[in-house]
Amino acid sequence: MTDFPVRDHRYLSLKVCTSHNRQNNEIVICTHLKASNIEHPGTPFVRMILDSFSIVSSTGNQHQCLLYQPLGMSYTEFLDLFLNKQMPEALIQRSMQLILLGLDYLHKAKVVHTDISANNILQGITDLTALSEIEDGETNQPIARKVLDDRTIYISRPMPINTGLPVLCDFGEARIGDKHKGDVMPGIYRAPEVILDMEWDSKVDIWAVGLTTWDLLETRNLFFARKDGLLNDEQHLAEMVSLLGPPPLEFIRRSDKCLQYWDENTNWKGSIPIPEQSFEIRERSLEGDVRTMFLHFLRSALAWLPKERLLAEDLARHAFLMQPLLAAGDLKEHS
């Protein structure tokens, strides 16, 4: 990704793509969103393609190029800047609330993101001085590079810290429509219906929001989901049972694959034992009422049955995310 000035003195980000199909999908999604013509308060928290074009490399390969508004570092990088990776609780609450507003916009336009994590939440840029400094730095002291016969490889400049609002990015794996089948979502973020080859919908994004909020607050993943160093579905499901309890019979009946792991009474029959843990045991960052609200928030996002996970617009108003506004007196308790 490269930020560069254009003739009207705006800064834009240029993404030169290597995967043609994935980036074509991003163009399709953004075209669909623009055509949906939905007015929604969440639109500022979703990164749209401003324009696109193609170029041909010196080796004859065609590359799709996408133009975006420039953004700062990802929340994964942002988290590393805090002492012991402890991002302020209120910052996490407000950030995830705004991301949920953006997600509600996507869902109302019948778009499922499928790839939500801290890697795909970027800081907005409010002070363009940071971009000017990058430009000046490149002019006065060009970044190190390696020149090869067919291309030049540049070291990336670190993005400056910004205080802009969070933006949800990357529609490379997004889907349009209400119901879908097939494998999506990064390994440990997969919702149970995805692991078990069931039909899935926008509620997979709600599952991912719950896990991302946990990652930011607890500074470690909720699920390990590996056996002998490899991603393992049975291990993943055993961990889900330990935190959520056994799935309801209604869930079991949706896929024959469930019979590999549960009997007809929803009793676990996998070879991997259920870990001894719970949300209450695992959660270590909060205390008192805020902790209680957070655990309720998690259970509102992480449920076996997708219909039991809250909609994005409802989860955005959850007491846990509203708590900083209430504490500051910006809202009344009954609002």
pLDDT tens per residue, range 117-158: 999 999 999 888 878 888 888 888 888 889 888 778 888 877
DSSP type of residue 281: H
On whether the CB atoms of residues 32 and 25 are closer than 8 A, the answer is no
Nearby residues of 269 by Cβ (< 8 Å), 6 or more positions away: 261, 262, 263
What is the set of active-site residues?
115
pLDDT average, residue stretch 87-93: 96
Structure tokens at 22: 């994935």
Residue spans per domain, the chain: 72-136+166-327
Task: Say what the pTM is.
Answer: 0.92
For residue 67, what pLDDT is reported? 96
Measured between alpha carbons, how far is 157 from 77 in angstroms, rounded to an integer? 13
Confidence of residue 333 (pLDDT cuts 50, 70, 90): low
Alpha-carbon distance values, 107 to 168, 176, 210 (Å): 13, 9, 16
Count of beta carbons in the 10 Å neighbourhood of residue 179: 10
Residue 274 has pLDDT above 60, yes or no: yes
Which tokens go with 174?
């997004």
Q: Write down the CATH number for the domain with range 72-136+166-327.
A: 1.10.510.10
What does the alpha-carbon distance between residue 301 and residue 64 come to, in Å, rounded to a whole number?
36
Query: For the residues 4-13, what does the mean pLDDT come to?
Result: 72
3-state helix, strand, coil in the chain (%, to 5): 40, 15, 45
The residue-averaged pLDDT of 241-263 equals 98
- Outline where 80-128 has alpha helix (H): 89-108
- Measured at the CA of 240, the angle between CA 239 and CA 246, to 5 degrees, comes to 115
Residue 265 to residue 101: CA distance in whole angstroms: 39
User: What confidence score (pLDDT) does residue 20 get?
Assistant: 64
pLDDT tens profile 277-324:
999 999 999 999 999 999 999 999 999 999 999 999 999 999 999 998
When pLDDT is cut at 50, 70 and 90, the band that residue 29 belongs to is very high
Q: How far apart are CA 117 and CA 188, in angstroms?
A: 10
Residue 334 is predicted with a pLDDT of 44
- Mean pLDDT computed over 220-233: 96
